[in-house]
Amino acid sequence: MFKLIATVMIAAGFALGGRHLAVLQKKRVSFLESIILMISTAETRLKYACLPVSDLLKILNENTALSELEFIRSCREKVCFGEPFPDAWRESIENEAEFCRLLGNSAKNLVSMGSELGSTDLDGQLSCCGYYKNLFEADLEEQREKSEKYSRLFPSMGLLLGISAAILII
């Protein structure tokens, strides 16, 4: 009886693990979509209102569509307490462990973007936004393809691994 319960638990664990990997891939896509929306919003606000970085952070923080990007709130708080924007931006992103783990090199690109925002004239900031928007759009396209492929593969592979482990135990 104990062996049967252990076998079912192991099979279920592998199946749930496969499902979890598929969910993580979808979350990666969602983060990238939010980052592109953030950059588009920043680009538009810079273009038409010539806002300083602190006001731009306030607008981004108040945008409910960007609530998934928690580093914006953290960065705004640090800037309000007098920390320089590039440092606050970098620290806020690096403190989001799950965000950095899921995005990998994209998180490094986001940190680089923060060091360039607010440090040049308006045209430089707009070209910075355009450059990073293109980078993230290319990464988003790649991650969407992976998500479509792996959203079906990971759960079934986890289930098969679970059944294989159950057969080996029995």
**For residues 19-32, b (16+ Cβ closer than 10 Å) or e, as one string?**
bebbeebebbbebb
Query: Which among 10, 5, 4, 36 has a CA at the least distance from the CA of 103?
Result: 36
- Alpha carbons 55 and 93: distance in angstroms, whole number: 19
Query: Which among 105, 64, 87 has a CA at the least distance from the CA of 74?
Result: 87
Mapping DSSP onto H, E and C, the string for 69-121 reads CCHHHHHHHHHHCCCCHHHHHHHHHHCCHHHHHHHCHHHHHHHHHHHHCCCCC
- Token pair belonging to 39: 């950059």
Using one digit for the tens of pLDDT, what is the confidence trace for 106-135? 899 999 998 888 778 888 889 999 999 999
pLDDT at 29 over 90: yes
- Alpha carbons 161 and 164: distance in angstroms, whole number: 5
What is the per-residue pLDDT for 93? 93
